[in-house]
Amino acid sequence: MKTRLMTLLAALLCCMAASAQTDSVKESSTKKILIAYFSWGGNTQHVAEHIASLTGGTLFRIEPEKPYPTDYKTCTEVAKKEKEADAHPAIKNKVENWDEYDTVFIGCPVWWWTAPMIINTFTEIYSFKGKTVVPFCTYASTYRDETLARITELTPDANHLKGFGAVSKNTKGIAEWLKEIGMTMDNRKKE
């Protein structure tokens, strides 16, 4: 009787160990998401944080080595000069464990009809081979599609999912978009 009980207990423990292992395999194959964004005035940051809350992704704010002027008009002038000079402004911070992410959201405001030049710098630093890129932007009134297309163009080695443009910090439609592209926490596909 005692031997039988011991055998039963051992079998039970084996089953539990196997199930725990399966769970950890499942966990590690869940897609890891990075939400990298540049934001001057806070709108894109607001949208990025909303995306993070729905996807469970990790936020990374792209910080310029030389901060942009805080005055709006002066900032537009600096941004215009950077665009005309095809400048690649340096980035101060670095994404840790880049290889762990298989999906990278890239977000920015529209600056002079396209993505700010610092997005060129960001996309040059990292390898996008084998990654899925999801572009997003915020804008006042125009050049949403051109900016999303620019982010796609800057990451030619990646696969791309449909992007999203938000007017200022309006988050309406973001949950539906994330659902459509399979990126919410509950409908994300596991490998």
What is the contact surface with ligand FMN in residues (CB under 6 A)?
39-45, 75-76, 79, 109-113, 138-143, 168
Residue 68's SS3 state is coil
Nearest residue (CB) to ligand FMN, 104 versus 118: 118
Nearest residue (CB) to ligand FMN, 2 versus 66: 66
Nearest distance in Å: CB 23, ligand FMN: 39
Nearest residue (CB) to ligand FMN, 49 versus 102: 49
**Among 115, 166, 156, 100, CA closest to 133:** 156
| CB-side neighbour CA atoms (13 Å) of 74 | 5
Nearest residue (CB) to ligand FMN, 45 versus 123: 45
Nearest residue (CB) to ligand FMN, 76 versus 184: 76
Nearest distance in Å: CB 118, ligand FMN: 11
Torsion of CA 135, 139, 143, 145, to 10 degrees: 30
DSSP-assigned letters across all residues of 73-115: HHHHHHHHHHHHTT----BS---TTGGG-SEEEEEEE-BTTB-
Give the residue carrying structure tokens 């966990």.
Answer: 27
Q: Inter-axis angle of helices 144-154 and 117-125, to 10 degrees? A: 30
Nearest distance in Å: CB 37, ligand FMN: 8
Nearest distance in Å: CB 38, ligand FMN: 7
Dist. CA 37–CA 138, nearest whole Å: 11
Nearest distance in Å: CB 90, ligand FMN: 18
